[in-house]
Amino acid sequence: MKARVIYNPVSGKEIMKQSLADILDVLELAGYEASAFATTVEKYSAKNEARRAALAGFDLIVAAGGDGTINEVVNGIAGLTTRPKMAIIPAGTTNDYARALKIPRDNVRQAAEVILQGDSIKMDIGQANERYFINIAAGGYLTELTYEVPSELKSIFGYLAYLVKGAEMLPRVKPIDVHLEYEEGIYDGPASMFFLGLTNSVGGLEQIAPDAKLDDGKFSLIIVKTANLFEMLHLVAMVFNGGRHINDPRVIYTKTNFLKVVDKESEKPMMINLDGEYGGDAPMTFTNHHQHIEFFANVHDIADEALMDPIYEESSRAFINEVEELTDEDIDEDGKINGK
């Protein structure tokens, strides 16, 4: 059997470059003839190498890097009739996909040793027009904060950087007039965002789509109808407080294997976020490819109850307490909290 490691040499302060020998050693122990490819600054470097390796008959492709590297590798093989198995070794900021597959995120060798266990799961993969995604697709003003968080803040603070930036952006959020078609019906009206999830881990949080399944052929669809700052803050608090937002009347929460999105605004097109990066503009059609790519994973741990990492618990609890004490009088006429 042949394995190809596609690694980002600058991910995680160059940890992949430093740990490559360990990764190749584990693959040899697992019975693979292993080789490696370092991604370059060339556009679609990882995607092109993944497609080449798959067509060359490699049995396993190991994506070593952040969620962006994994996304590129998936885009290289998802459109092929015959697709190799995949394994992931995380070295990004939030490592959502590794979190969903219960892959160790702080030890490269331990992440690689998941392959030695031999357990795997056939994962659903999303398609947005011609592109594929592994974790989330979203659109609307709320999703635009992912483009505005500086990369250095992502690297240092991870999820907390998104939280701070999101709070800063909330006063600017306004609804967009959309037409959304999905399995259970049609939504025509204002929405501050729509969100499609393939896993339960988004930006380090496991409460946004708390009952997401990895291999059932369904997206978790969330449509946030309100753009009122006071209501938005309470919805965010409900996310942190056990994922209770999914039962709120200001939110549509359902399961669907497709979504068609039409932005009825004329001023500017709705930007679509795919796995944390800009993925094009609406209109867009999303399709769930059921159990499309097989990944090595800690399968026995995936069924565990999704819990927030302890690193986030204290800040999230403080946020919930502050929001619960807010009243409409705390929001000024500019839509800011106490003039801040």
- The amino acid at residue 34 is A
Task: Compute the distance between CA of residue 8 and CA of residue 314 in angstroms, rounded to an integer.
Answer: 33
Active site (annotated) includes residue 277: yes
**Residue 13 falls in which region: left (phi positive, over 0), alpha (psi -120 to 50) or beta:** left
**E strand map for the chain:** 2-7, 33-38, 60-65, 85-90, 120-128, 131-133, 136-139, 176-182, 185-191, 193-197, 219-224, 251-256, 258-263, 271-274, 277-281, 284-296
Task: Compute the distance between CA of residue 94 and CA of residue 72 in angstroms, rounded to an integer.
Answer: 17
Residues in the chain: 340
3-state secondary structure 151-198: HHHHHHHCHHHHHHHHHHHHHHCCCEEEEEEECCEEEEEEECEEEEEC
- The amino acid at residue 86 is M
Nearest to 143 by CA among 100, 110, 178: 178
Which candidate in 28, 33, 277, 313 is catalytic? Answer: 277
Spell out the residues 6+ positions from residue 183 whose beta carbon is closer than 8 angstroms to its own.
254, 255, 256, 257, 258
CB distance 235 to 250 below 8 Å: yes
Task: Compute the distance between CA of residue 167 and CA of residue 319 in angstroms, rounded to an integer.
Answer: 10
DSSP string computed for 286-327? EEEEEEEEEEE--HHHHTSPP---HHHHHHHHHHHHHHHT--
> What is the set of active-site residues?
277
